[in-house]
Amino acid sequence: MAIQRFPEQRVAITGGATGLGLALAKQFLHEGWSVAIADIQDEKGQAEIELLGLPESRLFFTKVDVTKEAQLKKWRDDIVKRWGGVDIIINNAGVATHGAIDEAPLSDWEWVLDINLMGVVRGCRVFTPLFKKQRSGHIVNIASMAGLIHAPEMGSYNAAKAGVVALSETLEGELFSYGIGVSVVCPGFFQTDLGKTLRSPDPKAKDMVQRLFETSKIDADGVAKRVYSGINDKDFYVLPHKSYHLIWMLKRYLPAMYMRSLHVTGRKILQKKRDWQASLATLTQP
């Protein structure tokens, strides 16, 4: 597929102070782009900017909460004032949740949906008018394989990321005629600190999820490279993990087998819970 060109090479990234967002910022900087980073973590963002040691014409940080549309608009306007426009918006800011439907509190659902889904919606709403005016631009929404394949006890996170995939597919049809590209990124577990944000009613879940992140064979830099090449190749779906891609194909073409795999996973989770409860009961006996 032909490589698309971004003559001005200006990218804006939410959640850019840590993890994948920071890896994406470094990848684009390596390729010669000017990068605007937004994140709610003010001190961390400022510290990373200082470490990179680049002039503001190449890199600057702004404290932005993606649950506040007014802050996103102000950030966009500041970028336009500095650079005259922007070529790519990467809606990356996100958090993690876990919990069975009857165990996870609604407050966790509201939290993850407001950030992971509505944060992306707000980013798209804020930058789309600018891209339409420019008659160019590219929206990159960071979803997850959890948006395509849905593990038990991940309902709120799955729903948020599936919403990001659905939104992205909608925008692909909606914005194509305006010369605006769309990509949705669906990584599986990779080495990042997302697990540290995890909210779960299960006290053991955070350590378990963090181990899955840490033992992955791919890190944030590897995902960032795949995202960069996917944007250049005009890929809509960017799937950095080949193994997860195979599971997605299984779901699409052999849905009955996919459903059986969910049943197996659910039974394993239930057995682990029973084993843990039995162990806890033994420890608490007088």
10 Å CB burial of residue 283 (0-12, 13-18, 19+) is exposed
Question: Which helix (H) or strand (E) segment is 36 a member of?
Answer: strand 34-39
Distance CA 189, CA 243 (A): 11
Which strands form 88-91's sheet, in the order they lie side by side? Answer: 59-63, 34-39, 10-14, 88-91, 137-142, 180-185, 237-238
Rounded to 5 degrees, φ, ψ at 283 are -70, -30
Q: List Cβ neighbours of 264 (8 Å cut-off, separation of 6 or more).
A: none
Scored b (16 or more CB within 10 A) or e, 99-124 reads: bbeeebeeebbebbbbbbbbbbbbbb
Distance CA 134, CA 130 (A): 6
In the numeric block, the tokens 């819970």 are attached to: 273
For residue 237, count other CB atoms closer than 10 A to its CB: 16
> Quick check: is 244 catalytic?
no
Query: What does DSSP say about strands 88-91 and 59-63: parallel, antiparallel, or unpaired?
Result: unpaired
Distance CA 284, CA 286 (A): 6
Distance CA 229, CA 54 (A): 24
Closest CA to 212 of 196, 226, 236: 196
Q: Which residues are catalytic?
A: 157
